[in-house]
Amino acid sequence: MKVALVTGASRGIGKACAIRLAKDGYAVVINYSHSEEQAQKVLDEIVAAGGTAITYKADVSDLNQVKQMVKDVSKELGGIDVLVNNAGIVRDEYLLMLNKDTLDTCMDLNVKGYFYCAQQAVLKMFRKKSGVIINMSSVSSKFALPGQSVYSATKGAVNSMTQTMAKELAGYGIRVNAVAPGFIETEMLDAIPEEKKKEYLDAIPMHKLGKAEDVANVVSSLCSDAFSYVTGQVIVLDGGLSL
């Protein structure tokens, strides 16, 4: 059975990806950093549907924790075939209000965390000469939203690292792609005031918000053999927002 490690999988898009990959037949590692109860619920849902999964607590912005997680997962499940780099954080602040803590936290989790997980997963993928990495980006990497300079910068970095990783790893049978969601109905979006949410909705040509399952479907496709010739791409799911 192939193994998929999904970071930040206790809720939102990560949860949807974990559930979908379990349905696809993967043994899924549900990574989380704080929400143990939520992670357990995802595990229970997967097991109830006949799937295989485990939970693993690790802060992906900490290299030592990432190394231990990949080591333990490989020992228990036999390796890693798919990595979904999803754990991330959004802290909206205008440039003149930006503080060091926000900058450090976003860079550590959204950029360094992706590098750490990819590096350690690839060390395991090398042995099989195959593997898939999906980096979760955002429409914010291509569409400017006031107050999101730091978040946009981290997601722009994700796009760039995806392309370079894809080129570096193609010869080893490892494909790397990114998925850039727009406004998706998750807890993160719930925090936005209704008036602002309506403003965003009006700006979307399809006049509707995406669902976490929409993102999971694309992740599933990119992991499948049907997309075996696709690497280094950033797939945007935004209802036309960035057009």
What's the mean pLDDT when you consider all of the chain? 95
Which candidate, 28, 30, 33, places its Cα nearest to that of 58? 33
19, 171, 170, 150: which is closest to 86 by C-alpha?
Answer: 19
The residue type at 99:
N
C-alpha distance from residue 87 to each of 60, 83, 91, 160, 166 (Å)? 8, 11, 14, 18, 20
Catalytic residue among 94, 116, 151, 200: 151
Tens digits of per-residue pLDDT, 28-76?
A: 999 999 999 999 999 999 999 999 999 999 999 999 999 999 999 999 9
| CA pair distance 125, 171, nearest whole angstrom | 12
pLDDT of 86? 98
- Contact status, residue 27 vs residue 77, Cβ threshold 8 Å: yes
Chain centroid to CA 162: how far?
12
pLDDT reported for residue 4: 98
DSSP string, 41-103: HHHHHHHHTT-EEEEEE--TTSHHHHHHHHHHHHHHHS--SEEEE---------GGG--HHHH
Instruction: Quickly state the pLDDT bin for 167 (edges 50, 70, 90).
Output: very high
Q: Is 114 annotated in the active site?
A: no
Residue 143 pLDDT: 83
* Secondary element (H or E) of residue 133: strand 131-136
Domain boundaries, the chain: 3-237
In this structure, which amino acid lies at residue 237? L
- Write down the pLDDT at residue 122: 98
| pTM for the structure as a whole | 0.95
Mean pLDDT within 184-189: 82
Residue 42's pLDDT is what?
A: 98
42 in the Ramachandran plot: left (φ > 0), alpha (ψ -120 to 50) or beta? alpha
Please name the fold of domain 3-237: Rossmann fold (3.40.50)
What average pLDDT does the segment 137-165 reach? 93
Span 133-147, average pLDDT: 91
Using DSSP bridges, classify how beta strands 210-211 and 131-136 pair: parallel, antiparallel or unpaired: unpaired
